[in-house]
Amino acid sequence: MSEAVKNKGWSVTMAGLGINLALGILYAWSIFKGAIAESIKTGGEGAFAWELAKLNDPYAICCLVFAFSMILAGKCQDKFGPKVTAMMGGILVGLGFIWISQTTSYVSWILGFGVLAGAGIGFGYSAATPPALKWFPAAKTGLIAGLVVAGFGLASVYIAPLATYLLGAFGLQKAMMVFGIAFLIVVCLLSMLLNNPPKGYVPAGASAAKAKAVAAENNVAPMQMLRSGSFWKLWFIYFIGAGAGLMVIGSVAEIAKKSMGEAAFVAVAIMAIGNAGGRIVAGILSDKIGRSNTLLIMLVLQALLMGACIPIVGSQNSSALLLVLLATFIGFNYGTNLSLFPSFSKDMWGLKNFGINYGLLFTAWGVGGFVMSRLYQMIKATTGSSSTSFMVAGTLLVIGAMFTMTLKPRSAVVPLPGVMYQPVLGATMADGGEKVEKDKK
């Protein structure tokens, strides 16, 4: 393999990471929500006039639309390639933010931030990982998936302080205009660097015969995948792991404001570092000890952290340092989901239909974010406390860990030369495999 071809894989990976660094503005929602809440409280001409129980709605809808748009975006990515798909994402995100920069209307923010930006994030995100994975061998699946999606988690490191500065200097709506124009340009430019490998390409470290056999055995069609028990089990676990993390991410600035005041954005930024780190560490670890073992560890740790949050969020004099540490580790554990589940998808159902297959699995992320963030805001508006939300999240995480112990994802199995049927390959879709039929000659 030429050095130019080797470097192509890394340039695609870095372009995907860069696109996710822009699209990760979703994780800075708690900053924007704080500005909207302040506007509601202050009132006056041009102020927001929303119900407090609906403050998280644009974020919740964005999570939901982001996830379900991944199905269409995945189909688009599989058919037209990552370049076109990512460019569509950049345009949609840009238009969504430009729209909300012109209004304080609740409905307009639902449509602009929730629907347009959510769909744009889905299209951009779905196009970033698949081409990068195709340039590298299976042994690097976790690492590459972790690196690409780390950009999404890391975004708040720069977006949180930048958003805080722009809000203070120009106000919320002009800040939205700046973000809209900037991300439209950045995502569209980086999309030009996304390329799939040429036909017949074999990653370094994998033999052509083995790669071809693995691809043939592991490529599963979407409808076959949906009929497998392993898909729905993974979907439920993803719903729990993602939902618990998104619940905290969507409100971390609000929670931190009690003890950190105007410096609450620091908690958002540091949580983002944990979020990104979790994606990379989990990717590398899962390549070593397995996806299921890594996921089990992270879910149990996340459940313990939710329990530790209850006395912290319920206190009026909580330690800023302790709160930041909790947010960082919650972000870390949440981030592991975003590298583990794409890797599960590739391992169990192959790369041929990866875009739409992972898009279908990713709906769990959106439903989890929608349900848990809505639940948090409704409980907070009703009781004035968020402790119950953390109790619910912790309980669900324990259930998710129990389900994880029943997972039996298989690695790709390569047929032995001259053997027409191997029982180890299985005859059902329950483990993500395909039925193997005897060669009828």
Alpha-carbon distance 394 to 21, whole Å? 29
Alpha-carbon distance 433 to 228, whole Å? 9
pLDDT at position 153 over 90: no
Model pLDDT, residue 207: 53
pLDDT at position 404 over 60: yes
> What is the pTM for the complete model shown?
0.73
Model pLDDT, residue 414: 42
pLDDT at position 84 over 50: yes
**Fold classification of 3-194+216-411+419-425 (topology level):** Growth Hormone; Chain: A; (1.20.1250)
Spatial CB neighbours of 333, under 8 Å, sequence gap ≥ 6: 241, 245, 278, 298, 299, 301, 302, 305
Count of other CB atoms within 10 angstroms of residue 263:
12
Q: Which band of pLDDT confidence, cut at 50, 70 and 90, is reported for residue 395?
A: very high
**Structure tokens of 401?**
């860990």
pLDDT at position 141 over 60: yes
* Mean pLDDT computed over every residue of the chain: 82
Q: Which band of pLDDT confidence, cut at 50, 70 and 90, is reported for residue 96?
A: very high
Q: Which band of pLDDT confidence, cut at 50, 70 and 90, is reported for residue 297?
A: very high
Model pLDDT, residue 203: 74
Using an 8 Å Cβ cutoff, are 330 and 277 in contact?
no
What are the domain boundaries of the chain?
3-194+216-411+419-425
pLDDT at position 433 over 60: no
* Mean pLDDT (whole number) for 54-66: 89
Model pLDDT, residue 422: 35
Q: Which residue has the tokens 């939710």?
A: 306
- Residue of 249 and 101 predicted with greater confidence: 101
DSSP H or E segment with residue 249: helix 229-249
Give Rg (Cα) of the chain: 22
Model pLDDT, residue 110: 96
* Mean pLDDT (whole number) for 332-344: 89
pLDDT at position 418 over 60: no
At residue 368, what is the residue type?
A: G
Helical packing angle, 354-383 and 320-349, nearest 10°: 150
